[in-house]
Amino acid sequence: MRFAILGDIHSNLEALNAVLEDLEKLKIDKIFCVGDVVGYGADPAECVKTAEERFELTVAGNHDMAVIDKLNLGWFKDSAAKAIVWTKDALSMAEKEYLNELPLIDVYQDIVFAHGSLYHPEEFYYLTNKTQIMKNFDFQEDKKICFTGHSHKPFVALFDDVIGDAFICANQEVHVEKHKRYLVDAGSVGQPRDGDPRASYVFYDEDEGLIEIKRVDYDIAQASANILSAGLPSEFAERLHNGV
């Protein structure tokens, strides 16, 4: 089976459609989403509709939760809070109900999914250093792979069960090995922040045991123009061009 894992779409329909086109070339069997379908961008309704129709499963991100009043706006910067309020008005009741039903953690076979950390998932902790990564592996238990998002910066980490230590993988392509478990951040489809403006997602070939971080070009100018036309904060349009 061939899987795609994507997240942090953030209402960027141009980026999402470009990723879906890429997935057609790879003959993906199932698509999983690690949250934040909405927020920041100009097309939340279309992105929610795509998630509902195309994704095998989706877990809730912090922006998804805020839009349905399950997370206080005080968690967010003023500009992000403004985008959340705008998004609330842009979504139908049915679309909000879809977001309301998303779990914080979900499992498929030997894979576990969360937006942030597995520990206290409702707090949406970032996994940005070794201490946090090691703690997440503790909560991952016997699941072979944990896919997350939230940081907007893709990476692959592994825990060697023989030597009892975790490592960040330098390569964007990793082969799954016995006695090792993996933590994979899918990066961001709609708002990358690792200095690469291209949409990010993860390709996982279960049969080949291959995990690969993928990047896709998309129409950034159009996505940026849509944000400005919607009256959303201009910083969300500007940052798309630089991937920050």
pLDDT digits (tens, 9 = 90+) for 78-118: 999 999 999 999 999 999 999 999 999 999 999 999 999 99
pLDDT for residue 170? 77
pLDDT digits (tens, 9 = 90+) for 65-82: 999 999 999 989 999 999
CA atoms of 59 and 119, how far apart (whole Å): 15
What predicted TM-score, i.e. pTM, was given to this entire model?
A: 0.96
- For the chain, what are the domain ranges? 2-200+212-241
CA atoms of 9 and 50, how far apart (whole Å): 11
pLDDT at 128 over 80: yes
Q: Give the Cα-Cα-Cα angle 206, 4, 122 (nearest 5 degrees).
A: 105
In CATH terms, 2-200+212-241 corresponds, of 3.30.950.10, 3.30.450.20, 3.60.21.10, 3.40.50.1000, to 3.60.21.10
Provide CB contacts within 8 A for 172, sequence distance 6+. Answer: 154, 156, 212, 213
Say if strands 145-148 and 111-114 run parallel, antiparallel, or are unpaired: parallel
81 to each of 45, 65, 111, 224, how far by Cα in Å?
18, 12, 32, 19
CB 2 within 8 A of CB 29: yes
pLDDT digits (tens, 9 = 90+) for 136-193: 999 999 999 999 999 999 999 999 988 889 988 978 899 999 999 999 999 999 999 9
CA atoms of 64 and 67, how far apart (whole Å): 5
